[in-house]
């Protein structure tokens, strides 16, 4: 397996634009997670899915953020409209039933 | 629910010296425990894990950790560090048959190895 695949690796966008981050989890993993990492706040869990169903989205910072998982092999995290304070590295991870997490390489988002 | 405390946010150490990164957890159920490493501009990758069995767990790059149930700790150790071990290290815990495979992460410890 190629591991968790995220795209794009880098995204630079203007304030107010819509941003969509994509993730392909490891085949067979039933849980998928979206994290955000910044110097100020560290690693934050935004939302996680189990069997394609959102289980806990309490970490989503505001209504501008939304996430979907239409099937077991694809998830998106959307920010609309984007703001400079959304600049961060966004990680997607999928996990084994025991909770061993496999992270993607991340998407570095810069909102100018 | 589970929680994790990494007791040191930064650990500076000289090359070839031993190092210990401390991790304590709390949980109302039995746990699985993990250490991850994050090198600059990369994602987190698994160093080692405790699922069951021997409480001394060996991982990649010469690291090991010991699960101590009575002290609810899972400290990470390496007898002799290299410059290349400079990275951020995260301890994580998940509960048996709870939270659908979700782990709770600590805040991370930055290990800086000096020549």
Residues A51-85 have pLDDT tens digits of: 999 999 999 988 999 999 999 999 999 999 999 99
Q: Which of A31, A96, A103 sits opposite B44 (nearest CB)?
A: A103
Give the whole-angstrom CA distance, residue B1 versus residue B31: 11
Which token pair is A88?
Answer: 């961060």
Q: Which of A95, A105, A106 sits opposite B101 (nearest CB)?
A: A95
Task: State whether residue A103 sits within 8 Å of chain B by CB.
Answer: yes
Report the pLDDT averaged over residues B74-96: 95
Sheet strands (E) in A1-112: 5-7, 10-13, 19-24, 31-38, 42-50, 53-56, 65-71, 74-79, 88-95, 101-103, 107-111
Tell me which H or E stretch contains B87. Answer: strand B87-95
**What phi and psi values does residue B83 have, to the nearest 5 degrees?**
-55, -40
First to last CA, chain A: 36
Q: Regarding predicted confidence, which is higher, A97 or A76?
A: A76
Q: How many helices (H) and strands (E) does chain B have?
A: 0, 12
State how far Cα B4 lies from the chain centre.
Answer: 10
- pLDDT > 80? residue A105: yes
Report the pLDDT averaged over residues B51-70: 94
Q: What is the pLDDT, as a whole number, of residue B50? A: 94
Task: State whether residue B67 sits within 8 Å of chain A by CB.
Answer: no
Confidence of residue B101 (pLDDT cuts 50, 70, 90): confident
Q: Is the dihedral of CA B62, B54, A26, A75 positive or negative?
A: negative
Task: State whether residue B45 sits within 8 Å of chain A by CB.
Answer: yes
3-state secondary structure of B93: strand
Q: What is the pLDDT, as a whole number, of residue B99? A: 65
Q: What is the pLDDT, as a whole number, of residue A70? A: 96
Task: Check CB contact under 8 Å for B102 and A48.
Answer: yes
Ordered alpha helix ranges (H), chain A: none
Which residue has tokens 């800086």? B112
Q: What is the pLDDT, as a whole number, of residue A2? A: 80
Taking the CA of residue A95 and the nearest CA in chain B, the distance in Å comes to 6
Q: Is the dihedral of CA B95, A96, B59, A41 positive or negative?
A: negative
Task: State whether residue B34 sits within 8 Å of chain A by CB.
Answer: yes
Q: What is the pLDDT, as a whole number, of residue B100? A: 64
Strand partners, A45: A35
Smallest CA–CA distance from A4 into chain B, residue: B43
Q: What angle do CA B76, B56, A4 make, to 5 degrees?
A: 65
3-state secondary structure of B36: strand
Task: State whether residue A15 sits within 8 Å of chain B by CB.
Answer: no
Give the whole-angstrom CA distance, residue B104 versus residue B92: 5
Task: Check CB contact under 8 Å for B44 and A31.
Answer: no
- pLDDT > 90? residue B6: yes
């Amino acid at each position: 397996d190629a591991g968790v695949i995220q795209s794009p690796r880098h995204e630079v966008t203007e304030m107010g634009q819509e941003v969509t981050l994509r993730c392909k989890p490891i085949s067979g993993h039933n849980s998928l997670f979206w994290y955000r990492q910044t110097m100020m706040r560290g690693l934050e869990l935004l939302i996680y899915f189990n069997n394609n169903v959102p289980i806990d989205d309490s970490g989503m910072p505001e209504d501008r953020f939304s996430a979907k998982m239409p099937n077991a092999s694809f998830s998106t995290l959307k920010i609309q409209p984007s703001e400079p304070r959304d600049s961060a590295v966004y990680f997607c991870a999928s996990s084994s039933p025991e909770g061993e997490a496999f992270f993607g390489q991340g998407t570095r988002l810069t909102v100018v | 629910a589970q929680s994790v405390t990494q007791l040191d946010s930064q650990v500076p150490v000289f090359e070839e010296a031993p190092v210990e990164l401390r991790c304590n957890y709390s949980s109302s159920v039995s746990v699985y425990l993990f250490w991850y490493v994050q090198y600059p501009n990369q994602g987190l990758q698994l160093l080692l894990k405790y699922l069951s069995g021997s409480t001394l767990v060996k991982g990649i790059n010469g690291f090991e950790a010991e699960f101590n149930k009575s002290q609810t700790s899972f400290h990470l150790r390496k007898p002799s560090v290299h410059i290349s071990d400079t990275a951020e290290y995260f301890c994580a815990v998940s509960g048996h048959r709870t939270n659908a495979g979700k782990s709770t992460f600590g805040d991370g410890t930055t290990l800086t190895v000096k020549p």
